[in-house]
Amino acid sequence: MIIAEQKPLDEIKSMIADYQKVLILGCGTCVTICFAGGEKEVGILASALRMATRLDGQDKEFIEATVQRQCEYEFNEEVADLVKEADVVLSLACGIGVQTMNEQFPEKLTLPGLNTKFLGQPTEQGVWDERCLACGDCVLYKTGGICPIARCSKSLLNGPCGGSQNGKCEINPEVDCAWQLIYDRLKALGKLDLMMEVKSPKDWSASHAGGPGKIVREDLRL
């Protein structure tokens, strides 16, 4: 799922500086699960902003709401009245939700309250790890189900590089070396031969490198 985290309060404060009535709009899906933008986080941020802006001598009003999925018009429609009422919307959705709001309510600016970080897995309560780069050309079948594109700092296809040490990546002893993981997994699976072939350069055009992604399913269109 999409993993995000809240922007620093100061940055949010400066974004909303020119507005009096702010609708803080959460999203009930990914960002709820990663404790960045669900109903609870909306409440916490509203409380923090009420205090912070009052300390700055401003008299702002904060409206709180959360929709089920901010990347869909139908769900956002439920808060159309609140959007109208507010001077600006501070979205606690991922970048997709923020853009949906801007598109759907063009007369109102929607600001991002979160930094959308990556596609990841909640590996334990309070910990999220990047797992996929949406490269558009999945290689997991060649790498024992561990993604070298997202999890190797250099996205190597013929890793591990010389920086792999004790199973960790050269960039940080906290980061697992993806290729060590791949090696171990393939070894366990008896498929080390997959590590012997020289893998050709990746076709990055399937990813964002090929321009903004788009999928159209004619069969599904109405």
Partner 1 sequence: MKSDSNLEKVLSAGHFAVTAELGPPKNADPEVVRKKARMLKGCADAFNVTDGQTAVVRMASWAACLIQKEEGLDPIVQMTCRDRNRIALQMDVLGAAALGINNILCLSGDHMSFGNHPESKGVYDIDSIQLVKMVKDMRDEKKFQCGEEMKVEPRLFIGAAANPFADPFDYRPYRLAKKVAAGADFIQTQIVFNVPKFREYMKRVCDLGLHEKVYILAGVAPIKSSGAARYMASQVPGMDVPQEFVDRMVAAIKGIPSPKSIADPEKKKEVRRRRREAWQAEGIKICAEIIQQVREIPGVAGVHIMAIEWEEAVHEIVSQAGLLPRPTV
Partner 2 sequence: MNRDENTPGISPMEEMSPPCQVACPLHTDVRGYVAAIARGDFEAAYAIAREPNPLIYVCSHVCAHPCEEECRRGQVDEPVAIAALKRFAAERHDLSLGHGPPKPNVEPKEQKVAIIGAGPAGLTAAYDLARMGYPVTVFEALPEPGGMLRVGLPKYRLPREIIDVDIKGILEADVEIKTNVCIGRDMTLSDLKEQGYEAIFIAIGAQQSRALRIEGMDLDGVLLGVDFLRDVNQGRAVKLGRRVLVIGGGNVAVDVARSAVRQGRPGSEKEVHMICLESREEMPAHEWEIIEAQREGIILHPSLGPKRILGRDGKVVGLETIVCSSVFDSEGRFNPTFVPDSESVIEGDTIILAIGQASDLSFLRPEDGIELTRRRTIKVDPQTLATTAPGIFAGGEVTTGPGSVVGSMALGRRAAISIDTYLRGEDLTGLQFGEWRELDDLPPKTVERIKPLAREPMPMLPLEERAFNYEEVELGYTLAMAMRAAHRCLTCGGGAYVDTGKCAACLTCVRVCPYDVPIIKEGAAFIDPTECQACGVCASECPAKAITMKLYSEDQLYQEIDALFADAPAENPEPLIVGFCCLYCAYAADEWAESVRAQLPPNVRTLDVVCTSRIDIQHLLRAFELGADGVFVAGCVGDECRHTEKAANRIQGKVQFVKEVLDQVGIGSERLSLYDIPSAEWGTVPRIAQEMTERIRALGPNPL
Which residues lie near partner 1 (CB under 8 A)? 153-167, 170-172, 177, 180, 183-184, 195-202, 204
Give 67's contacts (C-beta < 8 A, 6+ positions apart): 25, 26, 27, 28, 75, 76, 78, 79
Which whole-number Å values give the CA distances from 87 to 3, 50, 106, 196, in the listed order? Answer: 28, 16, 13, 60
Is residue 192 a contact residue for partner 2 (CB under 8 A)? no
Q: What is the DSSP letter of 199?
A: P
Q: Would you say 48 and 12 are in contact if contact means Cβ atoms under 8 Å apart?
A: no
Q: How far is the CB of 146 from partner 2 (least distance, A)?
A: 23
Which whole-number Å values give the CA distances from 154 to 88, 128, 151, 176, in the listed order? Answer: 40, 20, 8, 13
Q: Residues 5, 15, 21, 35: which binds partner 2 (CB under 8 A)?
A: 35
Q: How far is the CB of 136 from partner 1 (least distance, A)?
A: 15
Is residue 10 a contact residue for partner 2 (CB under 8 A)? yes
Stretches 3-11, 15-23, 159-167, 168-176: which one binds partner 2 (CB under 8 A)?
3-11
Question: Using CB distances below 5 to 8 A depending on partner kind, what does residue 43 bind out of partner 1, partner 2, none?
Answer: partner 2
Question: Closest by alpha carbon to 112, among 4, 34, 3, 2?
Answer: 4
Is residue 121 a contact residue for partner 2 (CB under 8 A)? no
Structural tokens at position 152: 């190797």
Specify the residue, 20 or 158, whose C-beta has the smaller distance to partner 1.
Answer: 158
d(CA 12, CA 135): 31
Is residue 51 a contact residue for partner 2 (CB under 8 A)? yes
Question: Using CB distances below 5 to 8 A depending on partner kind, what does residue 95 bind out of partner 2, partner 1, none?
Answer: none
- The residues binding partner 2 (CB under 8 A) are 8-10, 28-29, 32-33, 35, 38-41, 43-44, 47-48, 50-52, 54-55, 66, 122, 125-126
